[in-house]
Amino acid sequence: MKKLLALSAALAASAISMSANAQRDYISIVGSSTVYPFSTVVAERFGKSTKFSTPKVGSTGSGGGLKLFCSGVGSATPDITNASRAIKSSEVKLCAKNGIKDIIEVTVGYDGIVLANTTAAKQISLSRREIFLALAKNIPNPDGSETLVDNPYKTWNEINPALPTTKIEVLGPPPTSGTRDAFAELALEGGCKTFPFIKAIKKQDKKKYKAICHGVREDGAYVEAGENDNLIVQKLVANPSALGVFGYSFLEQNSDKVQGSIIDGQLPTFDAIAEGDYPVSRSLFFYVKKAHIGVIPGIEEYLAEFTSEKAMGEYGYLAEKGMIPMTDEERANVLNTVKNLTPLTKK
């Protein structure tokens, strides 16, 4: 009788333990608002064409997604996070601190960052130098001296008489967004380093240089409009004098409502981004928690779907959605990483 009671107690404890450690039956994905529409279409097709549940995809921004991703291992944490920028060394360290030792980085394609306005207004042509002068918190003194001042410009024509007389008003993503990070690096810094005295600071003090070149003004000229790029499109339609910052795919999907500005002589077109001619373009990624593979069902199969020729190939369904495909050589490297589940080496 005692043995029977002991066995019953053991079975009950085992059942409680299994219940406490029950795993999700679907893949949990968070992260970049730019990668979100691509990830969503893959998730939907994956759910319809396989025996696995449709993955749940959330749009939290790249920084927000990586924070959630790096919070720990287990079914209460995401399996995958999308990112419109590469993971930072500080984020790799945060993951390691919380027990996430192996992270798989998957590059999925390219995207251009556009500075767009409504099609009801005149298309604007800007240089990266003019974008920096319009949006940076501190800029070179307009008197020509090699000093920095708080940004005094209120209207575009104050920067260049050929530009519109409208006030500088740019709607864009918050600091947690990978699009914001990439825009700061490619557009703002691209214009910032055209000033030799600022460029020289980089050799002496990288932190100071980055603060100057990536610092965005906080006086209302740049308006943080959240992670919802569709909302920015709606606001541009309602305000013909405003410009908005978002990924090329949203321009492609809303070409009847908004148009991309010409930057350094280049229009943001599919071919210009693919060929590297458009100056404000970046790689898109997602990151996978290797510890969850084989535990949460379907992760390997989801990776296979996302990296398949029919999805991210030159004529795949993601290209139809506005993603710029990688070269065959680049795709071969990605497929090798996915096939072997090769973890990211330390940054």
Distance CA 114, CA 260 (A): 6
> What is residue 347's predicted lDDT score, i.e. its pLDDT?
61
Of 189, 166, 178, 194, the C-alpha closest to 245 is 178
Say what the pTM is.
Answer: 0.79
Provide the β-strand partners of residue 281. Answer: 112
Query: What stretches of 20-172 adopt beta strand conformation (E)?
Result: 28-31, 56-57, 80-83, 103-118, 125-126, 138-140, 148-150, 170-172
DSSP-H helix ranges across 121-205: 128-135, 156-159, 178-183, 189-192, 196-204
- Strand 281-289, strand 138-140: pairing: unpaired
Domains parsed from the chain with CATH numbers? 26-110+283-340 (3.40.190.10), 112-282 (3.40.190.10)
Instruction: Report which DSSP code applies to 45.
Output: H
| 100 CA to centre of own chain | 21
pLDDT at 93: 96
Q: What tokens does 45 get?
A: 């097709």
Residue 3 CB-half CA count within 13 A: 0
pLDDT at position 53: 96
Q: Collect all residues with Cβ–Cβ distance below 8 Å to 65 and sequence separation of at least 6.
A: 30, 31, 32, 58, 78, 81, 82, 83
CB half-sphere exposure, 314, CA atoms < 13 A: 7
Tokens of 217: 């003004």
**DSSP symbol at 55:** P
Three-state DSSP class for residue 196: helix
- H runs (alpha helix) in 98-205: 128-135, 156-159, 178-183, 189-192, 196-204
pLDDT tens for each residue of the chain, 347 residues long: 444 444 344 333 333 232 334 578 999 999 998 899 999 999 999 999 999 999 999 999 999 999 999 999 999 999 999 999 999 999 999 999 999 999 999 999 999 999 999 999 999 999 999 999 999 999 999 998 899 999 999 999 999 999 999 999 999 999 888 889 999 999 999 999 999 999 999 999 999 999 999 999 999 999 998 777 788 999 999 999 999 999 898 899 899 999 999 999 999 999 999 888 999 998 999 999 999 999 999 999 999 999 999 999 999 999 988 899 999 999 999 999 999 999 998 66
Which tokens sit at 9? Answer: 């107690």
Contacts of 90 (CB under 8 A, 6+ apart): none
